[in-house]
Amino acid sequence: MLTCKKAIGEISNYLDGDLDVELKQVLEVHLGKCHHCHAVLDTTRKTIELYCDGKLFSLPDDVRTRLHEALRRKLQRT
């Protein structure tokens, strides 16, 4: 038997495929029965997906321009 606290503590390792076979099976049985823990698993997975797809923090044009100017100055000095 796995408590919800223990199950949630293993969700991150589960997503990374880092659990041994026995614990993985026990966790999957728990996830099949416990809607709360299943929701935590699903929404953690979705959280990771949002950040992977997010393309957060686009490079502003002025920052890019200053980078290339700094590189050209460096090139001229060498």
Single-letter residue type at 60: P
Residue 20 in contact with another protein, rule: CB under 8 A: no
Residue choice 6, 8, 23, 26 for contact with another protein (CB under 8 A): 8
Query: What is the closest distance, in whole angstroms, from the C-beta atom of residue 20 to another protein in the complex?
Result: 14
d(CA 15, CA 2): 17
Tokens of 31: 């996830």
Residue 40 in contact with another protein, rule: CB under 8 A: yes
Single-letter residue type at 56: L
Rg (CA), the chain: 22
Query: What residues make contact with another protein under the rule CB under 8 A?
Result: 8-9, 11-13, 15-16, 18, 35-36, 39-40, 42-44, 46-48, 50-60, 63-64, 66-68, 70-71, 74-75
